[in-house]
């Protein structure tokens, strides 16, 4: 289905296992991907009665691809419109990578409306770029170089990124799948979202989260170091950190069985 989030901008939403359900999980994907990155969750979780709803962030996947509107605030607003339109309540909001940053901004910007629990998976938090209060990010110059690479040679950029994404050799088929997900996005959208990640952070948003929060993070993450997850956990009151010992940045794929099990445990804990 499609939901209009602002005039002439529609985002694609997939709803698996709708109807009476004990729990609804709303998935927000990472960059440079789309909702299909969660297929190893969608293959399993509905079997246990979970309703799994996911959206393609504007500019990505099957969503409209406007030229503008890629700030953290606007993308968080898109999440809010979708949750409102679907009349969802007491959901588990799950954000991966940049989607993690967007869900954090959403929780702060909308005071956690519609959400009973938050799950952050390899989240870009507190920041993507190194800052005084978030020292584990990459240098600003490196972020600018990544953006320049996308302008110059997007296929090589996605190919190089695919190798860094996983902890283990997943084979050429998996890497090609990852790259093809990136090709389903508008290149200007990928550039603008990475620019937003480079210029924004969610440090001040973390203290505004007041629901049970689980942080799942690969200890071999080459893109968002595990220390960033530890710092995030320290700043969200009462949150729990679950290290994924065999994962890089792509833990929903690297360690899908363990992530699914831990996620269900978190959801089912009173």
CA 234-244-131 angle, 5° bins? 40
With residue 37 as reference, give the H or E element that holds it.
none
Beta strand 23-28 with 91-96 is parallel
Residue 22 scores a pLDDT above 80: no
What is the per-residue pLDDT across 127-168, written as a single tens digit (0 to 9) for each? 999 999 899 999 999 999 999 999 999 999 999 999 999 998
Residue 215 scores a pLDDT above 90: yes
Residue 80 scores a pLDDT above 80: yes
Catalytic residue at 97? yes
Per-residue pLDDT, averaged over 208-219, amounts to 98
Cα–Cα distance between 216 and 243 in angstroms, integer? 6
DSSP state of 203: G
Is residue 52 classed as helix, strand or coil in its secondary structure?
strand
Task: Judge contact between 156 and 164, C-beta under 8 A.
Answer: no
Residue 109 scores a pLDDT above 90: yes
Cα–Cα distance between 51 and 24 in angstroms, integer? 5
Sheet holding 240-244, edge to edge: 2-6, 9-16, 50-55, 23-28, 91-96, 115-121, 213-218, 240-244
N-term to C-term CA, the chain: 32
Catalytic entry in 56, 198, 249, 256: 249
Per-residue pLDDT, averaged over 99-125, amounts to 98
What is the per-residue pLDDT across 43-66, written as a single tens digit (0 to 9) for each? 999 999 999 999 999 999 999 999
Confidence at 23, pLDDT banded by 50, 70, 90: very high
Catalytic entry in 56, 64, 205, 221: 221
CB neighbour list of residue 223: distance below 8 Å, 6 or more residues apart: 97, 122, 164, 165, 248, 249
Task: Judge contact between 60 and 189, C-beta under 8 A.
Answer: yes
Catalytic residue at 29? no
Catalytic entry in 54, 97, 185, 251: 97
Q: What is the mean pLDDT of the chain?
A: 97
pTM value > 0.85: yes
With residue 230 as reference, give the H or E element that holds it.
helix 226-235
What's residue 28's pLDDT?
Answer: 99
DSSP state of 68: S
Q: Which two tokens stand for residue 60?
A: 């990505």
What the chain holds in terms of domains, given with CATH numbers, is: 2-268 (3.40.50.1820)
pLDDT-above-90 percentage for the chain: 96
Residue 1 scores a pLDDT above 80: yes
Helix 154-165 × helix 140-152 angle, to 10°: 130
The stretches of the chain forming alpha helices (DSSP H) are 39-42, 72-85, 98-109, 140-152, 154-165, 172-183, 187-199, 226-235, 251-254, 256-268
Residue 270 scores a pLDDT above 90: no
Tell whether omega for the bond before 126 is within 30 degrees of 0, i.e. cis. Answer: yes
What is the per-residue pLDDT across 226-247, written as a single tens digit (0 to 9) for each? 999 999 999 999 999 999 999 9
What's residue 20's pLDDT?
Answer: 78
What is the per-residue pLDDT across 122-137, written as a single tens digit (0 to 9) for each? 999 999 999 998 999 9
What's residue 168's pLDDT?
Answer: 86
Residue 108 scores a pLDDT above 90: yes
Tell me the β-bridge partners of 3. Answer: 11
Residues in the chain: 270
Catalytic residue at 220? no
| Nearest alpha carbon to residue 52 among 24, 71, 28, 85 | 24
Residue 76 scores a pLDDT above 90: yes
């Amino acid at each position: 289905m499609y939901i209009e989030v602002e005039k002439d901008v529609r985002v694609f939403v997939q709803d698996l296992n709708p109807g009476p359900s004990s729990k609804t999980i709303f998935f927000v994907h990472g960059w440079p991907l789309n909702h299909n990155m969660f297929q190893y969750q969608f293959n399993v979780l509905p079997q246990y009665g979970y309703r799994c709803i996911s959206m393609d962030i504007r500019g990505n996947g099957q969503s409209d691809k406007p030229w503008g509107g890629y700030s953290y605030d606007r993308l968080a607003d898109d999440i809010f419109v979708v949750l409102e339109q679907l009349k969802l309540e007491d959901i588990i909001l799950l954000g991966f990578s940049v989607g993690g940053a967007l869900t954090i901004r959403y929780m702060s910007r909308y005071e956690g409306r519609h959400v009973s629990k938050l799950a952050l998976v390899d989240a870009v938090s507190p920041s993507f770029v190194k800052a005084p209060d978030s020292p584990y990010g990459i240098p600003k110059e490196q972020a600018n170089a990544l953006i320049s690479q996308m302008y110059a040679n997007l296929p090589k950029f996605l190919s190089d990124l695919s190798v860094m994404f996983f902890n283990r050799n997943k084979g050429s088929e998996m890497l090609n799948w990852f790259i093809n997900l990136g090709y389903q996005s508008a290149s200007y959208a990928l550039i603008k979202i990475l620019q937003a990640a480079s210029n924004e952070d969610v440090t001040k948003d973390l203290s505004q989260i007041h629901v049970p929060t689980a942080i799942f993070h690969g200890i071999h993450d080459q893109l968002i170091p595990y220390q960033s997850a530890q710092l995030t956990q320290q700043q969200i009151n009462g949150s729990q950190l679950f290290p994924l010992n065999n994962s890089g940045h792509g833990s929903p794929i690297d360690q899908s069985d363990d992530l699914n099990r831990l996620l269900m445990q978190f959801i089912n804990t009173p």
